[in-house]
Structure 1
Amino acid sequence: MVRDIITHPDSCLRTYDPEKATLFYVPYLPAAELHNGTLFAPVSNSIYGKALIDVITKNKFDDWEKLFGWTSKYYKRRNGSDHIMVYSEPMHGLWHPRSRRGNFHFLRSQYQTYSPIVISVELSTTFIDEYPMCARKNILMPYPKPMGCCAFLSSAAAAVAAVAAVAAVAECGMIVSTIKPEDAIPPPTIADNAAALTRCSSTLSSIKHLRQSMKSDFRCSLSGKFVKKHQISNNYASAYRQATFCPAPGGDSPSAKRNFDALIAGCIPVVLSKDYVWPFTSDSGNIAVLNPYDFSITLQAADYQDAKFDPQTCKFLSEDRNSTNSTDQQQQIPANDLQSILEAISPEELERLRRGVAKAAYTYSYYRKRPDLPDNPLLEGVLPDGGAAHMLVRALEERSSGALWGACESELKGKDISKDKVNAFKC
């Protein structure tokens, strides 16, 4: 995506005269190399990755010149601060950190505190709080959708009549759907996908426990019972199109492509991570045109860490769910399970969030929605022209000639990155 935005024949960004260039895109695709034949390719042994690491961390250009055939003149001109590195998956860098989590990959495999401009699909509040200026000189982008603005929504899925508010847990994300009372259709529903949930469970025990608790509670909710009774399909595309809320607990990392799938499908994301950062917001440190409060809901994962219902009896586990007053009569305390929290949101608030979702969906789309958009515009050579593409150009303009590197460089003085606590997210 980034390569095409910069180098496409119809793009106005490219010059073939390096003396006129204010930025240099490094055409190296680490994710492609990692997935070259196997998910577990020895990317840490890549001679190409090591050549770039030597340049970024040591200013050693021998392999840069021999392997890539590039001159070192222009990197040296501004110490690489006008060079662009792209990482299209959250855990990928110039080598793969495997099971390490937290800020590790930002610091140790993507080298985000070094001079090049890093374009990535994930940052964390922990990293931004610790290195605000270095986070600022880099660019956080939404997950790419190579097949257009609505790739995961097939025409068949779009034709499904929304006669019931169906939801699913797909790609590890539980979707809750609520409906307005006047719609007079069955209760709001959630469906689950045990296989996907198991497949995507994090190695972090706390996140795995959170997912299991959410899955267990779903089965005891009115939604779960409704889905089971009517054997409702949990098809990913149709579920996202019909759902109102799409909860997304953290996984291997706080971010998830499903959050952007939800927005494009018109679903309100419910983020359950303290470390998740939306692109193009004030939280990201980049150009702020969106406010997460306008299109998403953030809840504390700790509040849903433990199941609220007994999985056998489906009765509330909390002893203070019912309290006895002076007349020994039972007084109900409002439920704090996820579905009850979401059902309590007013119709007016839902309408406000839906307007925000529509704006965010445009901003996070790489292609402008139009009738003549092919099924795979990237493959067909269509220039990305959506909101995300325009936001990237704005961000690059702001970083011309390495303009933001100096503030990051100053921020690092007196800091020993090797001692940074990087092994866990806040999730």
Structure 2
Amino acid sequence: MAYLTHFILLLLINLASSQQISNTESSSSTTTNPTTTEDCNNRWIYIRNLPSRFNLDLLTNCSEYPIFDDFCPYLANHGLGQKTHTKSRSWYRTDPLLLELIFHRRILEYPCLTNDPNVANAVFLPYYGAIDSLKYLYGPDVNSSFQHGIGLFDFLQSDEPGIWNRHMGHDHFLVMSRPAWDFCQPLDNDPPIWGTSFLELPEFYNVTVLVPEGRAWPWQEHAVPYPTSFHPPNLACFEAWIQRVRRSRRVSLMLFAGGGGIGASPNIRRSIRTECENANTSMTKDNTGYSQICHIVDCSNGICEHDPIRYMRPMLQATFCLQPPGDTPTRRSTFDAVTAGCIPVFFEEMSARSQYRWHLPEEKYPEFSVFIPKEEVVFKGLKILDVLMGIPRSEVRKMRESVIELIPRVMYRRHGSSLGLRTKKDAFDTAIDGALQTIKDKLNDLSEQ
């Protein structure tokens, strides 16, 4: 029964994708289309036709990694996952690993697609690289991780090689739904350590790669938001959520949704837990104006990952949402917090400021977030509470409004959404703009050499 369910899901995905490609190609095959002539100047994208072994076929292995979560249930709704409840219109149990599928489905609706690679300004590779990497990270090919991506490159060289050779890959881009750290194992590591070597392969040095977290020295990659569980289908649903965020009573000063911080070694998560426990016992509503100083939503062992109700309701009631780094600097929780209108508090520059420049403009960080160096908290005794309580209420209101203004930029609206909602650029639209500009700059640099 499980296999049949997965087969049906894949069939539906394939049918929808094929139909959309057909519709797109028929509408973009002529330059007289009024929606594509002027608006699409310098924005044409060609979707490379890859064999299904590089994308949809990979989804059939969704339950085959014993030490990795079964992601089969989250293939529903073209990667958005199952709805949080039967009557939900905007909320899904989204798994971040499915960003590649989400992005693939959305790009099929991009209005400036062309079926002629020679006129394209960029070439999209619908390769599910992070899903393909699971066999090296968790599966039987862990000792062959240097081969991750070689099959794709061989195909690009053998099938219509002129598409690649036109700019030697400088005009190509793809999405990989795991942090870049998972793909930068040195090729000469023996024995191999964690990760694959995709980003270390010279063959792909020229390709622009969109990932949810980039390295400190970005070469190929650019960071794009993790997908949250909020995917509105129309403008009415979106505006209803915005109104709910604005009206929500913020009864908690600060909130931390996450795990960790229970060990003996000093770290920022342990400091947060200790300060929360002490603050809740020593301060009252009378001297703060809040009914709760610090709220901790325990998300240990991944219990929150596919259950947004656990953390979104508390986030709607909190003024500040703490975003300490974990195994890696960035957190999906950052974008959950923005979606809830909760002001993010960062403790490390790599957590967001030096990552999401396309979606969260670096110069605007003081307007919508708070930065507290983790070293000051962990080793010098700086109290997070003192910093946050020191921000005037009028400034807090301005910051919250700035956060709310960012919501469209960090959400991935549902595929097939209404025309009204499409007037608001979302995370996908902003990522496409960034990729096109990056590729344009690279090609201009090459022409000047």
Q: Same fold (TM over 0.5)?
A: yes
What is the one-letter code of the residue matched to 2:315?
Y
Match of 2:150 among 42, 45, 51: 51
Matches within 5 A, 1:56-205: 61=154, 63-64=155-156, 70-91=159-180, 109-111=198-200, 114-124=205-215, 126-127=216-217, 134=219, 138-145=221-228, 147-148=230-231, 162=249, 164-165=251-252, 168-170=255-257, 172=258, 196-197=259-260
Task: Mark the CA change 1:142 to 1:87 in structure 2 (over 3 Å): closer, same or farther.
Answer: same
- Name the CA distance, whole Å, in 2 between partners of 1:35 and 1:381: 31
Q: CA deviation at 1:64?
A: 4.3
Structure 2 portions without partners, runs of 5+? 1-101, 285-289, 298-309
Whether contact under 8 Å (1:30, 1:93) holds in the other structure is no
SS of corresponding position for 1:14: coil
Correspondence 1:300 to 2:339: no
Task: Mark the CA change 1:218 to 1:147 in structure 2 (over 3 Å): closer, same or farther.
Answer: closer
Q: CA deviation at 1:143?
A: 1.4
- How big is each residue's C-alpha offset from its partner over 1:291-324, in whole Å with a ceiling of 9 and x where there is no partner? 111111111110111484xxxxxxxxxxxxxxxx
Task: Mark the CA change 1:107 to 1:231 in structure 2 (over 3 Å): closer, same or farther.
Answer: closer
Q: CA deviation at 1:90?
A: 1.4
What is the one-letter code of the residue matched to 1:23?
A
Correspondence 1:216 to 2:274: yes
- Name the CA distance, whole Å, in 2 between partners of 1:94 and 1:231: 37
- How big is each residue's C-alpha offset from its partner over 1:207-229, in whole Å with a ceiling of 9 and x where there is no partner? x6221122122211136877999
What is the one-letter code of the residue matched to 1:148?
H
- Name the CA distance, whole Å, in 2 between partners of 1:27 and 1:12: 17
Look up the match of 1:3: 104
Correspondence 1:12 to 2:111: yes
- Name the CA distance, whole Å, in 2 between partners of 1:287 and 1:305: 27
Q: CA deviation at 1:166?
A: 7.2
**Bigger RCO (CA 8 Å, 6+ sep):** 1
SS of corresponding position for 1:169: strand
Whether contact under 8 Å (1:167, 1:242) holds in the other structure is no
Correspondence 1:242 to 2:317: yes
Look up the match of 2:307: none
Correspondence 1:345 to 2:391: yes
Q: CA deviation at 1:115?
A: 0.7
Task: Mark the CA change 1:212 to 1:109 in structure 2 (over 3 Å): closer, same or farther.
Answer: farther
Correspondence 1:31 to 2:89: no
Match of 2:405 among 322, 335, 359: 359
TM-score (norm 1): 0.59
Whether contact under 8 Å (1:51, 1:64) holds in the other structure is no
Whether contact under 8 Å (2:179, 2:213) holds in the other structure is yes
SS of corresponding position for 1:110: helix
Q: CA deviation at 1:7?
A: 2.0
- Name the CA distance, whole Å, in 2 between partners of 1:108 and 1:47: 5
- Name the CA distance, whole Å, in 1 between partners of 2:147 and 2:112: 26
- Name the CA distance, whole Å, in 2 between partners of 1:223 and 1:269: 24
- Name the CA distance, whole Å, in 2 between partners of 1:81 and 1:106: 24
| Count of aligned positions | 312
Correspondence 1:396 to 2:428: no
- How big is each residue's C-alpha offset from its partner over 1:105-128, in whole Å with a ceiling of 9 and x where there is no partner? 99954359921111122235x425
Structure 1 portions without partners, runs of 5+? 56-60, 129-133, 173-195, 309-335, 368-376, 412-427
Task: Mark the CA change 1:224 to 1:116 in structure 2 (over 3 Å): closer, same or farther.
Answer: farther
Compare the two structures and name the one with the higher helix fraction.
2
- Name the CA distance, whole Å, in 1 between partners of 2:137 and 2:145: 14
- Name the CA distance, whole Å, in 1 between partners of 2:399 and 2:248: 23
- Name the CA distance, whole Å, in 1 between partners of 2:316 and 2:182: 33
- Name the CA distance, whole Å, in 1 between partners of 2:126 and 2:164: 14
- Name the CA distance, whole Å, in 2 between partners of 1:221 and 1:47: 49
Identity of aligned residues (%): 19
- Name the CA distance, whole Å, in 2 between partners of 1:123 and 1:85: 14
Whether contact under 8 Å (1:266, 1:357) holds in the other structure is yes
TM-score (norm 2): 0.56
Q: CA deviation at 1:35?
A: 4.8
Whether contact under 8 Å (1:219, 1:225) holds in the other structure is no
What is the one-letter code of the residue matched to 2:214?
L
